Protein backbone atom coordinates (compact mmCIF):
# COMPACT_ATOMS: atom_id res chain seq x y z
CA UNK A 1 0.00 0.00 0.00
CA UNK A 2 1.05 3.56 -0.67
CA UNK A 3 -0.32 6.76 0.83
CA UNK A 4 0.33 9.87 -1.21
CA UNK A 5 -0.65 13.31 0.08
CA UNK A 6 -0.50 16.38 -2.12
CA UNK A 7 -1.85 19.86 -2.41
CA UNK A 8 -5.13 20.32 -4.27
CA UNK A 9 -3.61 20.64 -7.75
CA UNK A 10 -0.86 18.04 -7.10
CA UNK A 11 2.10 20.41 -7.60
CA UNK A 12 3.54 19.48 -4.18
CA UNK A 13 3.43 15.79 -3.26
CA UNK A 14 4.74 13.56 -0.48
CA UNK A 15 4.57 9.79 -0.08
CA UNK A 16 4.38 8.52 3.48
CA UNK A 17 7.48 6.40 4.13
CA UNK A 18 5.92 4.33 6.94
CA UNK A 19 2.42 2.96 6.39
CA UNK A 20 0.27 2.69 9.51
CA UNK A 21 -0.69 -0.80 10.65
CA UNK A 22 -4.35 -0.05 9.95
CA UNK A 23 -6.20 2.79 8.32
CA UNK A 24 -9.90 3.54 8.64
CA UNK A 25 -12.07 5.97 6.71
CA UNK A 26 -15.14 7.00 8.70
CA UNK A 27 -18.19 7.73 6.53
CA UNK A 28 -21.03 8.99 8.74
CA UNK A 29 -24.63 9.75 7.86
CA UNK A 30 -26.66 12.64 9.26
CA UNK A 31 -29.62 10.55 10.39
CA UNK A 32 -32.22 11.87 12.83
CA UNK A 33 -34.26 9.88 15.35
CA UNK A 34 -37.70 11.16 16.34
CA UNK A 35 -39.90 9.83 19.11
CA UNK A 36 -43.51 9.39 18.06
CA UNK A 37 -46.51 10.29 20.20
CA UNK A 38 -46.97 6.63 21.16
CA UNK A 39 -43.34 6.43 22.41
CA UNK A 40 -41.80 4.60 19.46
CA UNK A 41 -38.75 5.84 17.58
CA UNK A 42 -38.44 6.62 13.87
CA UNK A 43 -35.04 6.85 12.21
CA UNK A 44 -34.98 9.24 9.26
CA UNK A 45 -32.04 8.51 7.02
CA UNK A 46 -30.24 11.75 6.22
CA UNK A 47 -27.60 12.77 3.77
CA UNK A 48 -24.05 11.46 4.00
CA UNK A 49 -21.77 13.36 6.37
CA UNK A 50 -18.14 14.31 5.81
CA UNK A 51 -15.62 11.46 5.75
CA UNK A 52 -12.70 11.51 8.14
CA UNK A 53 -9.35 9.73 8.35
CA UNK A 54 -6.92 9.51 11.25
CA UNK A 55 -3.37 8.50 10.37
CA UNK A 56 -1.08 7.54 13.26
CA UNK A 57 2.44 6.54 12.29
CA UNK A 58 5.97 7.88 12.41
CA UNK A 59 8.38 9.71 10.13
CA UNK A 60 12.03 8.71 10.05
CA UNK A 61 14.79 11.02 11.21
CA UNK A 62 17.23 9.14 8.97
CA UNK A 63 16.96 6.91 5.91
CA UNK A 64 15.75 3.34 6.45
CA UNK A 65 15.91 0.62 3.80
CA UNK A 66 12.37 -0.56 4.60
CA UNK A 67 10.78 2.88 4.14
CA UNK A 68 8.39 3.30 1.19
CA UNK A 69 9.88 6.71 0.32
CA UNK A 70 12.92 8.82 1.25
CA UNK A 71 10.74 11.43 3.03
CA UNK A 72 12.31 12.47 6.33
CA UNK A 73 10.55 13.86 9.38
CA UNK A 74 11.45 17.51 8.86
CA UNK A 75 10.05 17.46 5.30
CA UNK A 76 6.85 15.72 6.37
CA UNK A 77 6.34 18.00 9.36
CA UNK A 78 6.94 21.09 7.20
CA UNK A 79 4.36 19.87 4.64
CA UNK A 80 1.61 19.20 7.22
CA UNK A 81 2.23 22.44 9.14
CA UNK A 82 2.24 24.46 5.90
CA UNK A 83 -1.15 23.20 4.75
CA UNK A 84 -2.67 23.46 8.23
CA UNK A 85 -1.52 27.08 8.64
CA UNK A 86 -2.50 28.18 5.13
CA UNK A 87 -5.91 26.48 5.51
CA UNK A 88 -5.58 24.79 2.13
CA UNK A 89 -6.97 21.29 1.49
CA UNK A 90 -4.75 18.30 0.78
CA UNK A 91 -5.48 15.37 -1.52
CA UNK A 92 -5.14 11.90 0.01
CA UNK A 93 -4.58 9.04 -2.41
CA UNK A 94 -4.38 5.45 -1.16
CA UNK A 95 -3.13 2.87 -3.64
CA UNK A 96 -2.81 -0.89 -3.11
CA UNK A 97 0.23 -2.98 -4.10
CA UNK A 98 -1.31 -3.74 -7.51
CA UNK A 99 -1.69 -0.05 -8.37
CA UNK A 100 -5.45 0.10 -7.72
CA UNK A 101 -6.56 3.42 -6.20
CA UNK A 102 -8.73 2.80 -3.13
CA UNK A 103 -9.22 6.41 -2.20
CA UNK A 104 -8.66 9.82 -3.82
CA UNK A 105 -10.31 12.78 -2.09
CA UNK A 106 -9.67 16.24 -0.69
CA UNK A 107 -9.33 16.75 3.08
CA UNK A 108 -8.75 19.57 5.53
CA UNK A 109 -6.13 19.04 8.22
CA UNK A 110 -8.11 19.20 11.47
CA UNK A 111 -5.24 18.30 13.78
CA UNK A 112 -1.55 17.50 13.51
CA UNK A 113 0.24 16.36 16.66
CA UNK A 114 3.77 14.97 16.89
CA UNK A 115 6.55 13.92 19.24
CA UNK A 116 10.07 12.54 19.10
CA UNK A 117 11.58 9.26 20.28
CA UNK A 118 15.04 8.34 21.58
CA UNK A 119 16.42 7.31 18.18
CA UNK A 120 15.47 10.61 16.55
CA UNK A 121 12.30 9.62 14.68
CA UNK A 122 9.04 11.54 14.90
CA UNK A 123 5.70 9.93 15.81
CA UNK A 124 2.62 11.78 14.62
CA UNK A 125 -1.15 11.71 14.39
CA UNK A 126 -2.87 13.43 11.49
CA UNK A 127 -6.63 13.98 11.72
CA UNK A 128 -8.29 14.80 8.40
CA UNK A 129 -11.89 15.74 7.53
CA UNK A 130 -13.29 15.66 4.01
CA UNK A 131 -13.19 18.99 2.17
CA UNK A 132 -15.97 19.67 -0.30
CA UNK A 133 -15.25 22.74 -2.46
CA UNK A 134 -18.11 25.21 -2.30
CA UNK A 135 -19.78 26.21 -5.53
CA UNK A 136 -20.45 29.90 -5.96
CA UNK A 137 -23.56 30.63 -7.98
CA UNK A 138 -23.44 33.91 -9.87
pLDDT for residue 34? 86
Q: Does residue 82 surpass a pLDDT of 80? A: yes
- Bridge-based pairing state of the strands 32-35 and 41-44: antiparallel
6-55 tens-digit pLDDT:
999 899 999 999 999 988 889 988 888 888 888 888 888 888 899 999 99
pLDDT for residue 38? 85
The full set of domains in the chain, from first to last, is 2-30+42-130 (2.40.10)
Amino acid sequence: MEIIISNENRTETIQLPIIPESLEVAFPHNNEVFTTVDGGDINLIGRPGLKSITISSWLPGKEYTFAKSPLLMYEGKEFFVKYKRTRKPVRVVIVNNNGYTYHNELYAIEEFSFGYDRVGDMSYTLVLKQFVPSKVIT
